[in-house]
Amino acid sequence: MKRSFCNSLVAGLLVAVVVPGVAFAADYGAVFPGILMDKVIPPTGKEAKPQVKTNRPLKVGFLPTAMDTYYQRVLAGVKEEIDRAGGPSTIQLLVQAPKSQSATDDQVRTMEAWINERVDAIAVALYNEGALEPLIRRATEAGIPVFLFNSPVADDPYYVSDIGYDQSDGGRAQAQWIVDNYKDKGEVKIAVLEGLPGPHTAQRMKGFNEVLSKYPNLKIVAKQPAGWVRAQGLTVTENMLTAHPDVDILVALYDEMALGGLQALKARKLNGKIAIVGYENMKEANDAIKVGDFAATVDTGAKEEGRNIIRAVEQFVMKGEGVPKKIFVAPKTYDAKNIGTFDPADYIYVAKNTK
């Protein structure tokens, strides 16, 4: 009886996102390993429609908010999946990165150029959704499907799929690690390095606070923006330690800021004494866990996100099949107990062996 109910529930989830005239893959999990079906939402009906494009190579634009370590890992996954799909003769990858996270004008110019060029698909990470929404609509009306990635707030009705993970889940994972390790240790004081004001910071803090609020002994005593960068992570941590020298845990919403915080702790000989909980599992953060300078970091599956971008393009543009409106996977927390299970090849592009 239970099995019958579960089968019906899964079938219902799949049927729930079907719209007339649009073909959808029968089993999302077979195409997108680890997809969280509870995150899938129905299409709006305003998206571009699936199509079978026979021109080769397909021109696919890749437009992050900046080319930092996170997006380098996403790009590595994109490249590996292009290799699997047939290489540059099948998909020509166009990569443009703004000069900074907040350089929305750069993204606008790139989107305009790609629409005028009539590329076959665009993958874009949003920082300022309002500025890019008209261009997503223009692209859609021109028959160019737009796929979002690492975009925490995606209210635009015209994008085909939002690919990545739930940003609030990342914050929850950080908080859950603290709960699991500190809930029975009396009063615990926490300082938080936030990113730039905006949806990424807001969603991560939303998830973090949802978990932490259930444990009154776990207290945030300080939080300040540190701009996603190491230098600000250093100076902001120094300021917070001066105001709150009895902090027990330093949380950062991105590992670059956490690594700056580590510099501040080392200057005071506090590394290993104040627990650092990072976000993204950068290689330096991974190494810091191994030597005891970091306590934990959350990996959000950047390389798999890149693979899923190309899988979605392949399904939608090459096979003419629909894809889920959200293709999200679950973040994973690494600490000293499981850091040895992480595959270092996840950090880099591994070229396909053609021999």
**Low-confidence winner among 24-38, 121-135, 286-300 (lowest mean pLDDT):** 24-38
pLDDT given for residue 17 in this prediction: 42
What's the angle, vertex CA 202, arms to CA 296 and CA 17, rounded to 5? 95
Q: Which amino acid is at 160?
A: V
CA 112/CA 107 separation, integer angstroms: 9
Provide the residue ranges of all domains of the chain, joining segments of one domain with +: 17-165+302-330, 168-299
pTM of the model: 0.90
- Condensed to tens digits (0 to 9), the pLDDT of residues 103-112 reads 899 999 999 9
- Condensed to tens digits (0 to 9), the pLDDT of residues 263-279 reads 999 999 999 999 999 99
Determine the average pLDDT of the residues in 51-66.
Answer: 96
For the CA atoms of 292, 74, 307, 35, the dihedral, rounded to the nearest 10 degrees, stands at 60
Handedness of CA 27, 31, 35, 40 (dihedral sign): negative
pLDDT band at 127 (very low <50, low <70, confident <90, very high): confident
The DSSP 8-state label assigned to residue 114 in this structure reads H
Topology of domain 17-165+302-330, CATH: Rossmann fold (3.40.50)
- Condensed to tens digits (0 to 9), the pLDDT of residues 200-226 reads 999 999 999 999 999 999 999 999 999
pLDDT given for residue 18 in this prediction: 42
What's the angle, vertex CA 137, arms to CA 305 and CA 146, rounded to 5? 20
pLDDT given for residue 355 in this prediction: 52
Topology agreement, domain 17-165+302-330 and domain 168-299: yes
pLDDT given for residue 22 in this prediction: 40
**Low-confidence winner among 19-28, 168-177, 180-189 (lowest mean pLDDT):** 19-28
Determine the average pLDDT of the residues in 283-289.
Answer: 98
pLDDT given for residue 354 in this prediction: 57
User: So what CATH class is 168-299?
Assistant: alpha beta
- Condensed to tens digits (0 to 9), the pLDDT of residues 234-263 reads 999 999 999 999 999 999 999 999 999 999
CA 129/CA 134 separation, integer angstroms: 9
Q: For 328, left (φ over 0), alpha (ψ -120 to 50), or beta?
A: beta
For the CA atoms of 324, 309, 305, 148, the dihedral, rounded to the nearest 10 degrees, stands at -70
Inform me whether the pLDDT recorded for 195 exceeds 80.
yes
> 275-279 and 249-252: which strand pairing?
parallel
pLDDT above 90 as % of the chain: 85
User: Alpha helices, DSSP H only, in 226-341?
Assistant: 230-243, 255-267, 283-290, 302-313
